[in-house]
A and B are shown apart, each in its own frame.
Chain A
Amino acid sequence: MLQSLWENRVPVAAVVLFAVGFTTLLLHRNLLKKIIGLNIMDTAAYLFLTSLGYIAGRKPPIITDGNTDPSAYVNPLPAGLVLTGIVVSVSVTALMLALTVRLYERYHTLDLDQIYLMAKDEEEEKR
């Protein structure tokens, strides 16, 4: 049991990180912590994906010494996917932070439940 956990330590770490991120995103009321949770979740997925592409003992896929044999290099595709994923998660984080700034300017708190109550009161007053 312990040995197989150790052999699969990278996926295990990814799963633990993903769980941490997911619960933070779902359960925390603080908006900033939610965003941090989201980023941890994404990072876990990227860690898992990067570990898939790594083959022990091989070189990065850049031809420097004229060797074009693919078996000399690691799989470059997961790295490309991770790069795309990072771009996506950066832009999503920026958008979430922009939303947070807007909510904070209006309600002066980051607690989502309080913001919800205040927004509801605002609506009632308008009627």
Chain B
Amino acid sequence: MSFAANIPLFSIVLCLLASAVSALLRARAAAWVTRVLTALVAFGSVLVLLMGIKNGAAVTYQMGHFPAPWGNELRFGILEPLVSGIFAVVLLSCVVGGNKELQRDIEPAKQNLYFVMVDLILATLLALLYTNDLFTGYVFIEICTIASCGILMIRRLGRTTLAAVRYMIFSLIGSGMFMLGIIFLYSLTGHLLMPNLKSAVAALWASGESHTPLMMAMCLITLGLCIKSGLFPFHFWMPDTYGYSTPCSAGILSGLVSKGYIFLLIRIIRCVFGVEVFYASGIQTVLYVLGIAGMIVGSISAIRENEVFRMIAFSSAAQIGYIYMGLGLSPALGTVAAIFHILTHAITKPALFLSASRLVEVSGGRKRFKALQGAAHRDPMAGTAFAVGSLSMIGLPLTMGFIAKYLFAFAAFRENRLLLPTLLALAISTVLNTFYFARTLIRVYNTRGVTPVPPVRLRAQPGFAFAAILLMAENIACGVLAQPLIEMLTKGLSILE
């Protein structure tokens, strides 16, 4: 086994160590630890990805060389390192780009604790991507919930604390359901490792015995992860959570944490239930319908909002809807489209949150749309980043959003399933997206009735400029050179089983 096969485990352990060390450091040092850590994890993911592409097969890594029924395993092919690399880069841009707001929103004595939480979130995201054991998945889901609540509640506003309570309640109901599902599966099969579970579930499904408990377990696990990732109608925690947290947290929570849960669901569908069983169970139709409902309801709520952060938050609910629509559509192309949209949203949403917070900052700290008139001229960099993000969410060519929407339509056409509803949903939701993002763009670029002030220089905000340029470059690079990425996703998905 090559050295690269050790990297996933090392990355997880390194993140845990870094978070423990950061608790003792000063804020500035802890911030640098997180930056170096994310860069290292991204670099390591590239090495693992190269190994995966070279091997063309998934590696199962036994921790401590204990064989299957006793030991705990990690598993990685192409998809996992690819997603983890992109997540690490996005996390780096969030931490660097939102640093100014972190200084403003968090008491100086507690700033190092923020980075403890961020390191923990990175560790849990990696573990959720790589683990091959269902119960390990559950434990890291809970750690992720606690760390996410930490980066949310560290801003001491009344509304933020309230949002944290609501977020915790929804999350705990979700993870409770997930745990019950695991217990049911364990009592049915006696396994917790994914490969053993998969063969046991397939045998159980084929024999027709214990059909109801098995369905119950699948429903509970899917439902739990849907609640935690904020699928309609469980998206009510989103606007407050993203709207009142510090922008860096909003970017991490909307772009990465909810995506980690969805990716775990995809893993579980592939590696535990098995594609045949899951797509014969009827659960996928429910996901499809709820996804479309989320796309439309989320967008309509975003149109009715008069505050920029809450608008972006409701738009997240709509984008989560897209992802679940793709999952429900089909196991092959639909899921590729869903994973592509996971990456699109992970790269775009943090850019939107970070740039919107800069636009609010130069508008006297007021979040209402009225106050944002002409804000893009006061901070051109934030304006550009917001424009690129908005256009990507609408789905204009050259951005990732376009490719994602194209892939959804392509999946519906190619597999000739649910063609009309998919295209209709895409069309309606694109019109709605365009409505609220274009309205905001026109507002921030329109200077009527605004006295001009000298624009903020790039040199005055190097962190934000770095993050904005990095995220925009990723977005456009992935949008222009989409073909190799799609091929990697397709290959990665095919060896995921």
B-binding residues in A (CB < 8 A): 18, 22, 25-26, 31, 34, 38, 41-42, 45, 48-49, 52, 77-78, 81, 84-85, 88, 91-92, 95-96, 99-100, 102-103, 106-107, 112, 115-116, 118-120, 122-123, 127
Contacts and interface: CB of A to CB of B under 8 A. Distances in A.
A45 B162 contact: no
Interface residues of B, number: 28
A77 B368 CA distance: 54
A99 B171 CA distance: 15
A84 B173 CA distance: 18
26 contacts: A22-B173, A22-B176, A25-B169, A25-B172, A38-B172, A45-B183, A49-B186, A81-B135, A81-B186, A84-B139, A88-B139, A92-B142, A92-B168, A92-B172, A102-B156, A103-B162, A103-B165, A107-B158, A112-B162, A116-B162, A118-B158, A119-B158, A120-B159, A122-B158, A122-B159, A127-B368
Given A41-B176, A84-B139, A102-B156, 13 more contacts: A22-B173, A25-B172, A38-B172, A45-B180, A49-B183, A49-B186, A52-B186, A99-B161, A103-B161, A112-B162, A112-B165, A119-B162, A127-B368
A112 B166 CA distance: 10
B162 A96 contact: no
A106 B164 CA distance: 15
Interface stretch (B145-153, B447-455, B477-485): B145-153
B183 A48 contact: yes
A84 B164 contact: no
Contacts of A85: 179
Q: Tell me which of A18, A49, A99 has the highest count of chain B C-beta atoms within 10 A of its own C-beta.
A: A99
Classify the secondary structure of A's interface with B: helix
Contact of A102 (B145, B161, B172): B161
Residue with the greatest number of chain A CB neighbours at <10 A, chosen from B156, B158, B173, B186: B158
Contacts of B153: 99, 102
B106 to A, nearest CB: 14
A19 B483 CA distance: 50
Given A34-B169, A99-B168, A119 B142 contact: no
A88 B172 CA distance: 11
B416 interface: no
A12 to B, nearest CB: 15
B161 A95 contact: no
B2 interface: no
A57 B368 CA distance: 68
B187 interface: yes
Interface in B315-340: none
A92 B176 contact: no
B165 A31 contact: yes
Nearest to A48: B183
B176 A45 contact: yes
Contacts of A92: 142, 145-146, 168, 172
Contacts of A96: 165, 168
Contacts of A25: 169, 172-173
A9 B162 CA distance: 39
Contact of B164 (A41, A99, A120): A99
A123 B159 contact: yes
B256 to A, nearest CB: 20
Contacts of B135: 81, 84
B139 A99 contact: no
Contacts of B162: 103, 112, 115-116, 119
A103 B146 CA distance: 18
B183 A52 contact: yes
A21 to B, nearest CB: 9
A95 B156 CA distance: 15
B159 A42 contact: no
A120 B383 CA distance: 30
A79 B168 CA distance: 26
A18 B165 CA distance: 21
Contact of A106 (B139, B158, B368): B158
A126 B142 CA distance: 35
A20 to B, nearest CB: 13
A115 B172 CA distance: 21
Contact of A88 (B142, B149, B165, B183): B142
A45 B176 CA distance: 8
A94 B246 CA distance: 23
A107 B158 CA distance: 9
A107 B368 CA distance: 26
A42 B142 contact: no
A125 to B, nearest CB: 11
Contacts of B179: 45, 85
A106 B165 CA distance: 14
Contacts of A41: 176
B158 A95 contact: no
B183 A106 contact: no
A123 B142 CA distance: 31
A127 B68 CA distance: 60
Interface string B364-392: 00101000000000000000000000000
Nearest to A107: B158
A52 B180 contact: no
Residue in A52, A88, A91, A96 whose Cβ sees the most chain B Cβ within 10 Å: A88
B164 A91 contact: no
A25 B366 CA distance: 35
Nearest to A41: B176
A81 B135 CA distance: 8
A42 B187 contact: no
Given A48-B183, A99-B168, A106 B146 contact: no
B124 to A, nearest CB: 13
B139 A95 contact: no
Contacts of B176: 22, 41-42, 45
